[in-house]
Structure 1
């Protein structure tokens, strides 16, 4: 709608200039042949001007520009032989086209030359200084109006396209957010449900009472997964780091992984966003452990260090000779990095050699205790309090 309005204004202005020139020519009481010749020239100049004012014409081939500008130049100056100064407004169209089609330096130089060239018809027609200056000024003004309205139309068209692109980017960003949240939430929940069901299957013959307890936990996890999906769909999610640590301990124990959790009571006072992001780190770390490692022990710690909280998840199950990950296996660590970066935090991934076949894997996340401290934290580097040992690979994700 806005683009059509701008195009309509440009078209109306061009038609008005053509109408003024036609009225001037009609005042000469031209014959049928001369009038037909004038109308043909006016229509040709009008069509050429529409082409030069069209969005994207400046990117046309050089040969096309030369041909159309030459044609408009001939049709702008040749009718002066027949109609004299009454044809003057059409030279302003040509001046505007020079600004639209040519590079800035050449365009403005030829625009000024074209405007000043109107001195010649005024002198040849023995017009006074006032009329001659009027011809020059009218040509310059017409060129600026044509150039300004054409550029405005082009800019409106570009703005409309840019708005459409931004809308598509917003949709794509929301799709990525939705996919990321589903990966972070359901990956953990489904892995936990699968492990719990395997444990229940083993316990039914020997310990039915314990199996019933595990089934109750499966129901709790499944209900939580459903609630998480609903929160993702509404774009709102709150998670507690303390509750996620407790849940991770239960899930790892069910998977026969010995787990040690050390968490300070102060983590209950974390900001909502920080707690949610770090809880997501716990979920992703535990999910990766269950899916991509053969860990026998896992260490999880959460400590307050000044105005920041440090979360560490380590396990002894990274297999050095494991096959490379599939390109469709997800992007959990990249997602965690973006989440932490958004609140002023950092993520550190470390692989520590610990034998011929296995190696220790440690994931460290550092974030501000409260969200308003996120800006100050961006300058902090994540360190583990140790001097790197030879053969150790540290990667900041």
Structure 2
């Protein structure tokens, strides 16, 4: 499985590259710090004010980045969260009182931090409180009010938008956990089904073989002819048990369309290819052999896309069509890659063509701005 190049929502960075990408995503919003930076660069401040301003700004930005980054990567303790938010709020308050209205923008970042790290109900009140404090600081001076009004929308919108992002992160994490649980339950159910099938297949046969073996052993000294008959029965029962096991294993190994559709989505996502795959097979009337051939065709097509195409997007369609020769199921795998020639002449397609012949199906390929594999199988033909 290829390593993903981006850090997904709610996923903890696992290496320096992913940590850098997440930090860049968080730090890009620091562009709105231009107001306090311009205020310090204008040159109208004393040396003490400039040193205090640059130091306070650097400490504020560092605390903001660490708080938001750590909270989105690993949840901090409530005491640490509230302590960090109190530090950011007091630092923003002190800088705004000491250096003027240009520093009110720091309260926007405090509001965003509240939305990023606090529980939903607490975050809502905290965002409103931080915004109200910013407005109170601006009330005594009409010029300051003029500077603070444009910050109202970013403070409220940024804070509440971050609460939405947190809810999305939580939902994503819960969805992944639920999918993992469902997969585990499905695997457990499959193991139980296999255990039941093997018990039904072999329990009676092995018991019968054991009884006949004991009986043959007792008959062997005095009645060898009857013992030989029991041995013949043992051979017949064991051969039938072996046949049943082989048929059962063949059934387990037979690919199915729902399984291959799910596997296609997983394989394409792992390869970084945008997938448009139907959630399930809605074609009725397919026999087991026809479904198996279509499943092999889908597996082969997705394998070619992942290994050879270099594509960015892949579309899978599965439809039933009425033709002059009867109903046919058409499977189409199309990608936008540029290595169509490699896939078109592979041994996999040759073997797939031979499989299709057993059910009266056909295969066609097209290499035009990508590669398209089209497989048609008659529905319910009994071939």
Q: What is the TM-score normalised by the length of structure 2? A: 0.52
In 2 relative to 1, CA 88–222 (structure 1 residues): closer, same or farther, beyond 3 Å?
farther
1:49 aligns with 2:68: yes
- 1:89 Cα deviation after fit: 4.1
The question of whether the paired residues in 2 share the 8 Å contact of 1:95 and 1:139 is answered with: yes
In 2 relative to 1, CA 104–151 (structure 1 residues): closer, same or farther, beyond 3 Å?
closer
Q: Which residue of 2 aligns with 1:20?
A: 32
Name the SS of the counterpart of 2:30 in structure 1.
helix
The question of whether the paired residues in 2 share the 8 Å contact of 1:200 and 1:214 is answered with: yes
1:177 aligns with 2:180: no
Q: Which residue of 2 aligns with 1:197?
A: 213
The question of whether the paired residues in 2 share the 8 Å contact of 1:95 and 1:143 is answered with: yes
Q: Which moved more, 1:73-82 or 1:189-198?
A: 73-82
Q: Which residue of 1 aligns with 2:143?
A: 127
- 1:191 Cα deviation after fit: 1.2
The question of whether the paired residues in 2 share the 8 Å contact of 1:54 and 1:154 is answered with: no
Q: Which residue of 1 aligns with 2:156?
A: 140
One of 149, 163, 175 as aligned partner of 1:159: 175
Q: Which residue of 2 aligns with 1:68?
A: 84
1:224 aligns with 2:240: yes
Q: Which residue of 2 aligns with 1:4?
A: 7
- 1:197 Cα deviation after fit: 0.8
Name the SS of the counterpart of 2:100 in structure 1.
helix
In 2 relative to 1, CA 54–150 (structure 1 residues): closer, same or farther, beyond 3 Å?
farther
In 2 relative to 1, CA 90–37 (structure 1 residues): closer, same or farther, beyond 3 Å?
closer
One of 25, 35, 40 as aligned partner of 2:59: 40
Deviations 1:130-149 (A, max 9, x none): 64332211111121233333
- 1:103 Cα deviation after fit: 4.3
Deviations 1:28-60 (A, max 9, x none): 134355223311221112212223334544xx3
Deviations 1:346-376 (A, max 9, x none): xxxxxxxxxxxxxxxxxxxxxxxxxxxxxxx
Q: Which residue of 1 aligns with 2:295?
A: none
The question of whether the paired residues in 2 share the 8 Å contact of 1:95 and 1:115 is answered with: yes
One of 99, 118, 124 as aligned partner of 2:134: 118
Partners of 1:110 and 1:33 lie apart in 2 by: 27
Structure 2 unaligned spans of 5+: 12-17, 42-49, 254-383
The question of whether the paired residues in 1 share the 8 Å contact of 2:209 and 2:234 is answered with: yes
The question of whether the paired residues in 1 share the 8 Å contact of 2:26 and 2:65 is answered with: yes
Q: What is the TM-score normalised by the length of structure 1? A: 0.50
CA RMSD of aligned residues (A): 3.2
Partners of 2:245 and 2:25 lie apart in 1 by: 56
Deviations 1:316-352 (A, max 9, x none): xxxxxxxxxxxxxxxxxxxxxxxxxxxxxxxxxxxxx
Partners of 1:139 and 1:106 lie apart in 2 by: 16
Query: Which structure would you say has the larger Rg?
Result: 1
In 2 relative to 1, CA 233–68 (structure 1 residues): closer, same or farther, beyond 3 Å?
farther
Partners of 2:160 and 2:249 lie apart in 1 by: 52
- 1:218 Cα deviation after fit: 1.3
Name the SS of the counterpart of 1:216 in structure 2.
helix
Partners of 2:117 and 2:169 lie apart in 1 by: 15
Partners of 1:232 and 1:91 lie apart in 2 by: 67
Structure 1 unaligned spans of 5+: 238-397
In 2 relative to 1, CA 106–190 (structure 1 residues): closer, same or farther, beyond 3 Å?
same
The question of whether the paired residues in 2 share the 8 Å contact of 1:99 and 1:111 is answered with: yes
Q: What pairs up with 1:296-311 in 2 under 5 angstroms?
A: none
The question of whether the paired residues in 2 share the 8 Å contact of 1:95 and 1:111 is answered with: yes
